[in-house]
Structure 1
Amino acid sequence: MIKLLPLCLALAGPAPAALAQIASGDSYDLVILGGRVIDPETGLDAVRNVAIEGDRIARLTEEPISGLRTIDASGLVVAPGFIDLHAHGQTLLAGRVQALDGVTTALELEAGVYPVAEYYEDAGAQGRAVNYGASVDWSRARNAVLTGAEPASPDDEFDDHGHDTDWRYTPASSQQTASVLERVEDGLDAGALGVGVLLGYVPGSGRNEYYALHELAAARDVPTFTHARYLSNLEPDSSLEGFQEMVAVSAATGADMHISHLNSISLRDIGLIRPMLEAAQSHGVNITVEAYPYGAGSTAIGTALFEGTDWQARFGGIDKSDFTLAGQPLSDEEFDRLQAEAPGTTIVVHFLDTENDPDDRAILSQSILFPRGAIASDGGTWLVDGEELPGDTWPLPADADSHPRSAGTFSRFLRTYVREAGTIGLSEALAKTSLIPAQILEDAVPQMRTKGRLQEGADADIVVFDLAAVSDRATYEQPAQPSTGFQYVIVAGTPLVWAGEIDTTVLPGRPIRRTPN
Structure 2
Amino acid sequence: MFELIIRNGTIVDGQNRPRYEADVGIVHDRIAAIGQLGDAEAQLVIDADGLVVAPGFIDVHTHSDAILLSQPHLLSKTMQGFTTEFLMLDGISYAPVSRRTVHGWIYYLRSLNGLRFEQYTGWESIGDFMSLLDGKTAQNVATFIPYANVRTLAMDPGEQCPNDYQRVDLQNLVRQGMADGACGLSTGLDYVEQCFATTDELVAACRGMRVEQGVYVTHVRYALGTLEGVKEAVEIGRRAGVPVHISHLKGRNEEEVEALIDYIDLVAVNEVDFTFDCYPYMSSSTMLQYLLPQEIWRDGVFGAFARLTDPSLRDRFQRRLDTLDLSSITFAWMPGRQNRQLTGMTLEQYARRTKRRPADALCDLLIEESMAVLLIFHSDERGLEAEFLAHPYSMLGSDGIFFAEGKIHPRQYGSAARLLGHYVRRKRLFSLEEAVYKLSGFAATRFKLKNRGVIRRGAYADLVIFDPETIADNATFDDPHQLATGVEHVIVNGTPIVLHGKPVSSALPGRYLRFGAE
TM-score band (shorter)?
A: 0.7 to 0.9
Aligned residues: CA RMSD: 2.5
Residue of structure 1 equivalent to 2:442: 436
Residue of structure 1 equivalent to 2:154: 145
SS in 2 for 1:508: coil
What is the Cα deviation at residue 122 of structure 1?
1.3
Distance in 2 between residues matched to 1:492 and 1:267, nearest whole Å? 42
Change (3 A) 1:344 1:437: farther
Distance in 2 between residues matched to 1:85 and 1:267, nearest whole Å? 26
Residue of structure 2 equivalent to 1:210: 202
SS in 1 for 2:383: helix
Residue of structure 2 equivalent to 1:301: 288
Distance in 1 between residues matched to 2:262 and 2:204, nearest whole Å? 27
What is the Cα deviation at residue 185 of structure 1?
2.2
Change (3 A) 1:420 1:484: same
Distance in 2 between residues matched to 1:55 and 1:344, nearest whole Å? 43
- Larger mean CA deviation between 241-250 and 470-479 belongs to 470-479
For residue 511 of structure 2, what is the amino acid of its counterpart? R
Percent identity over paired residues: 27
Distance in 1 between residues matched to 2:252 and 2:149, nearest whole Å? 21
Q: Give the conservation status (yes or no) of the 8 Å contact 1:291–1:373.
A: yes
Choose the corresponding residue for 2:344, options 312, 327, 339: 327
Residue of structure 2 equivalent to 1:73: 48
Residue of structure 2 equivalent to 1:187: 177
What is the Cα deviation at residue 401 of structure 1?
5.4
- Counting only pairs closer than 5 Å after superposition, residues 257-272 of structure 1 correspond to structure 2 as 257-263=244-250, 269-272=256-259
Choose the corresponding residue for 1:366, options 369, 387, 391: 387
Residue by residue over 1:223-252, the C-alpha shift from the partner in whole angstroms, topping out at 9 and shown as x without a partner, is 121110125xxxxx2222111111122222
Residue by residue over 1:432-480, the C-alpha shift from the partner in whole angstroms, topping out at 9 and shown as x without a partner, is 10011011112xxxxx231111111111000000112211122222222
Residue of structure 2 equivalent to 1:485: 486
For residue 453 of structure 1, what is the amino acid of its counterpart? V
Q: Give the conservation status (yes or no) of the 8 Å contact 1:195–1:223.
A: yes
SS in 2 for 1:352: coil
SS in 2 for 1:362: coil
Residue of structure 1 equivalent to 2:14: 40
For residue 136 of structure 1, what is the amino acid of its counterpart? I
Distance in 1 between residues matched to 2:152 and 2:458, nearest whole Å? 43
- Counting only pairs closer than 5 Å after superposition, residues 30-179 of structure 1 correspond to structure 2 as 30-41=4-15, 43-64=17-38, 65-90=40-65, 91=68, 92-93=71-72, 95-110=74-89, 111=91, 113-114=95-96, 115-124=125-134, 127-147=136-156, 167=158, 170-179=160-169
Q: Give the conservation status (yes or no) of the 8 Å contact 1:228–1:246.
A: yes
- Larger mean CA deviation between 506-515 and 67-76 belongs to 506-515
Residue of structure 2 equivalent to 1:292: 279
Choose the corresponding residue for 1:347, options 353, 356, 374: 374
What is the Cα deviation at residue 189 of structure 1?
2.2
Distance in 1 between residues matched to 2:53 and 2:175, nearest whole Å? 40
Aligned residues: 437
Query: What TM-score do you get using the length of structure 1 for normalisation?
Result: 0.79
Choose the corresponding residue for 1:238, options 218, 225, 247: 225
- Larger mean CA deviation between 135-144 and 171-180 belongs to 171-180
Query: What TM-score do you get using the length of structure 2 for normalisation?
Result: 0.78
- Counting only pairs closer than 5 Å after superposition, residues 392-431 of structure 1 correspond to structure 2 as 399=405, 402-431=408-437
Residue by residue over 1:109-135, the C-alpha shift from the partner in whole angstroms, topping out at 9 and shown as x without a partner, is 52364220211221137x111001211
Residue by residue over 1:234-292, the C-alpha shift from the partner in whole angstroms, topping out at 9 and shown as x without a partner, is xxx22221111111222222211111101279997222112111223442511110001
Residue of structure 2 equivalent to 1:337: 364
Q: Give the conservation status (yes or no) of the 8 Å contact 2:3–2:43.
A: yes
Q: Give the conservation status (yes or no) of the 8 Å contact 2:12–2:54.
A: yes
SS in 1 for 2:43: strand
Residue of structure 2 equivalent to 1:390: none
For residue 328 of structure 1, what is the amino acid of its counterpart? M
- Larger mean CA deviation between 411-420 and 318-327 belongs to 318-327
- Larger mean CA deviation between 263-272 and 174-183 belongs to 263-272
What is the Cα deviation at residue 43 of structure 1?
1.4
What is the Cα deviation at residue 103 of structure 1?
0.3
5+ long unaligned stretches in structure 1: 1-26, 148-165, 232-236, 354-359, 384-398, 443-447
Change (3 A) 1:238 1:190: same
SS in 2 for 1:263: coil
- Larger mean CA deviation between 53-62 and 327-336 belongs to 327-336
SS in 1 for 2:365: helix
Q: Give the conservation status (yes or no) of the 8 Å contact 2:4–2:45.
A: yes
Change (3 A) 1:305 1:437: farther
Residue of structure 2 equivalent to 1:18: none
Distance in 2 between residues matched to 1:42 and 1:473, nearest whole Å? 27
SS in 2 for 1:464: strand
What is the Cα deviation at residue 425 of structure 1?
0.7
5+ long unaligned stretches in structure 2: 97-124, 295-315, 333-342, 352-357
Distance in 1 between residues matched to 2:172 and 2:185, nearest whole Å? 13
SS in 2 for 1:203: helix
SS in 1 for 2:132: helix
For residue 288 of structure 2, what is the amino acid of its counterpart? I
Distance in 2 between residues matched to 1:313 and 1:374, nearest whole Å? 35
Distance in 1 between residues matched to 2:322 and 2:230, nearest whole Å? 19
What is the Cα deviation at residue 348 of structure 1?
2.9
What is the Cα deviation at residue 209 of structure 1?
0.8
Q: Give the conservation status (yes or no) of the 8 Å contact 2:189–2:221.
A: yes
Distance in 2 between residues matched to 1:272 and 1:76, nearest whole Å? 40
Choose the corresponding residue for 2:238, options 246, 251, 258: 251
Residue 226 (1) aligns with residue 205 (2): no
Change (3 A) 1:297 1:105: same
- Larger mean CA deviation between 189-198 and 29-38 belongs to 189-198
Q: Give the conservation status (yes or no) of the 8 Å contact 2:283–2:379.
A: yes
SS in 1 for 2:471: coil
Residue by residue over 1:22-74, the C-alpha shift from the partner in whole angstroms, topping out at 9 and shown as x without a partner, is xxxxx311011111111132614122111111111111113413321011111
Q: Give the conservation status (yes or no) of the 8 Å contact 1:130–1:508.
A: yes
Runs of 4+ in 1 over 6 A off after TM superposition: 264-268
SS in 2 for 1:39: coil
- Larger mean CA deviation between 89-98 and 190-199 belongs to 89-98
For residue 196 of structure 1, what is the amino acid of its counterpart? S
Q: Give the conservation status (yes or no) of the 8 Å contact 1:109–1:194.
A: no
